[in-house]
């Protein structure tokens, strides 16, 4: 290859790398500047927004903010839609319509649609693309397009400590108890008791905690051992390295056992 072509390729590669770095650095700056917090609410005027709460940029559709209350230390992912009322510019009265408690996490692309009260308890964690709504289309009149018929609405309550898996749908009138697990893709309506696991469409209870018997049916795996609060990063790294060495040693012992075993691998 001619020398000038090599120089051109090197120059083009260098320019591409620099451009990529600049684009990513610029986008991170835009994300920081566009995030919504109590100190930097941007164009939005929420009923309240707690300390430490952050709405990532870019936001999804937001309207009816005066009737939306966000607790403290919430994490609202990118492209999350939060709406109060059927449409922007409607007076919804003196009381909040959408209440999100402290420590709530709403994953990327989730939607929360509230024209009547919707409430999230504290420490509710939602995966990406969760859909929570107080409104559902009606189809009573067979002659009218469904989208033009007045919807049915009912309040929604999601109990504290619950976990909603990716793509879960919570329909009008749903009332989830405390520490409820909603499996990914489940469609929930009606009452769900405390400490229950629901899955399916429509969702049904597949596991529940009983004070006398524990989880029924029993859990298939043991509970993970929590990390001690006073453990340092260096100690965690050393523990991980020790576990890798022990795993490697167990594998070597297993290989030696197979080598010594007569007829190993014979059919």
Burial string for 4-19 (b: 16+ CB within 10 Å, else e) reads eeeeeeeeeeeeeeee
pTM (predicted TM-score)? 0.81
Contacts of 210 (CB under 8 A, 6+ apart): 216
Dist. CA 35–CA 58, nearest whole Å: 7
- Higher-confidence position of 71 and 4: 71
What share of the chain has pLDDT > 90, as a percent?
A: 67
Cα 71 from Cα 48, distance rounded (Å): 8
The Cα 130–Cα 126 span in angstroms is 7
Q: Residues with catalytic annotation?
A: 137
What residue ranges do the domains of the chain occupy?
35-242
Q: What HEC string does 53-109 produce?
A: CEECCCCCCEECHHHEEECCCCEECCCCEEEECCCCCCCCCCCCCEEECCCCEECCC
CB count, 10 Å around CB of 146?
A: 12
Q: Average pLDDT of 125-154?
A: 94
Taking 90 as the threshold, does the pLDDT of residue 247 lie above it?
no
In this prediction, residues 238-264 reach a mean pLDDT of 70
Instruction: Say how far residue 35 (Cα) sits from the centre of its chain.
Output: 18
Which residue, among 111, 171, 170, 169, has the nearest Cα to 136 in the 3D structure?
171
Q: Where are the alpha helices (DSSP H) in the chain?
A: 3-34, 233-260
Q: pLDDT tens digit string along 15-64?
A: 888 888 999 999 899 989 999 999 999 999 999 999 999 999 999 999 99
Count the neighbouring beta carbons within 10 Å of the beta carbon of residue 57: 16
Q: Six-digit token pair at 214?
A: 């524990």
**Separation of alpha carbons 166 and 227, rounded Å:** 26
The pLDDT tens digits for 161-216 are: 999 999 999 999 999 999 999 999 999 999 999 999 999 999 999 999 998 889 99
Token pair, residue 41, equals 């609410």
- Pairing between strand 187-188 and 169-170? parallel
Select from 2.60.40.10, 3.20.20.80, 2.160.10.10, 1.20.140.70 the CATH code of 35-242. Answer: 2.160.10.10
Q: Confidence band (pLDDT; 50, 70, 90) for 221?
A: confident
């Amino acid at each position: 290859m001619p020398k000038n072509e090599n120089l051109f390729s090197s120059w083009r590669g260098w320019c591409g790398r620099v451009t990529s770095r600049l684009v990513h650095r610029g986008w991170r700056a835009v994300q920081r500047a566009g995030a919504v917090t109590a100190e930097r609410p941007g164009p939005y005027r929420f009923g309240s927004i707690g300390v430490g709460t952050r709405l990532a940029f870019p936001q999804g559709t937001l309207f009816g903010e005066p009737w939306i209350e966000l607790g403290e230390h919430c994490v609202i992912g990118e492209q999350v839609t939060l709406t109060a009322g059927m449409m922007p510019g409607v007076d919804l009265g003196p009381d909040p319509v959408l209440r999100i408690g402290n420590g709530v996490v709403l994953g990327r692309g989730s939607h929360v649609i509230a024209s009547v009260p919707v409430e999230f308890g504290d420490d509710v964690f939602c995966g990406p693309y969760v859909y929570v709504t107080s409104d559902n289309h009606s189809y009573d009149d067979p002659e009218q397009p469904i989208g033009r018929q007045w919807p049915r609405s009912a309040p929604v309550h999601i109990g504290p400590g619950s976990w909603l898996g990716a793509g879960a749908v919570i329909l009008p009138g749903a009332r989830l108890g405390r520490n409820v697990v909603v499996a990914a893709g489940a469609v929930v309506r009606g009452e769900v008791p405390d400490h229950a696991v629901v899955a399916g469409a429509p969702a049904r209870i597949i596991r529940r905690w009983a004070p006398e018997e524990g989880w029924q049916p029993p859990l298939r795996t043991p509970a993970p051992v929590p990390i001690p609060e006073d453990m340092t990063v260096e100690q965690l790294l050393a523990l991980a390295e020790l576990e890798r060495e022990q795993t490697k040693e167990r594998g070597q012992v297993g290989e030696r056992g197979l080598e010594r075993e007569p007829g190993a691998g014979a059919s």
